[in-house]
Amino acid sequence: MRVVAGAAKGLPLKAVPGTTTRPTTDKVKESIFNMIGPFFDGGKALDLFAGSGGLGIEALSRGIDTVIFTDKDRKAIETIRLNLEKTKLTEHAEVYKVDAERAIRTMKKKGIRARLLFLDPPYHMKQAYDLMDKAAESGIMTEDSIVVCEHDAEVKLNDRSRFYSRYKKESYGNTIISIYRYQGEEGETIE
């Protein structure tokens, strides 16, 4: 596992010890960023089930200004911090040991607005994909925001959620990547 492109290109990343997380492979990571745009001109990103932090670190390497990493697993938090140090991206990150729903509420209180959200929960947590709408409803997502969902082939996500519409979907064996773009609340017109 490594950083695929950008300022930290080629640097290796540690995986979370044990079997509680499933790191995104380099091939899938590269494909994700080809789908959402390979590089960024700033903005904030949220990595709500961060694991080793690979997706958020890749976004930082490619030009996102700040990433907020959250995970409720202590080993994951330690691994994210080690990977940020290794890539020299620590000053562009905030790392919190907290569950994703609480993280959204805290970000709302702080007035945080993000343009990119990574949702890669444990595959058995199907309800976790509802967090994209909770994040939008809370006001922490910008109106040009994109959500990247990584899910198992058996997890069927709708093409349209309350606030988002899927515009890309790719399959990599049992792993599916679904990319959603903010569309406003169903029935609302975005100009």
Q: Where are the domains of the chain?
A: 1-13+23-143
Cα–Cα distance, 74 to 190 (Å, whole number): 40
Checking if the pLDDT of 117 tops 50, the result is yes
Question: Which stretches of the chain are assigned E, i.e. beta strand?
Answer: 44-47, 66-71, 93-97, 114-119, 141-152, 164-172, 175-182
In this structure, the strands spanning 93-97 and 66-71 are parallel
What count of residues does the chain have? 191
In this structure, the strands spanning 66-71 and 44-47 are parallel
Task: Return mean pLDDT, the chain.
Answer: 91
66 strand-pairing partners: 44
Average pLDDT score over residue span 109-115: 96
- Tens digits of residue pLDDT in 14-42: 999 876 667 778 888 999 999 998 789 99
- Return the CATH number of the domain spanning residue range 1-13+23-143: 3.40.50.150
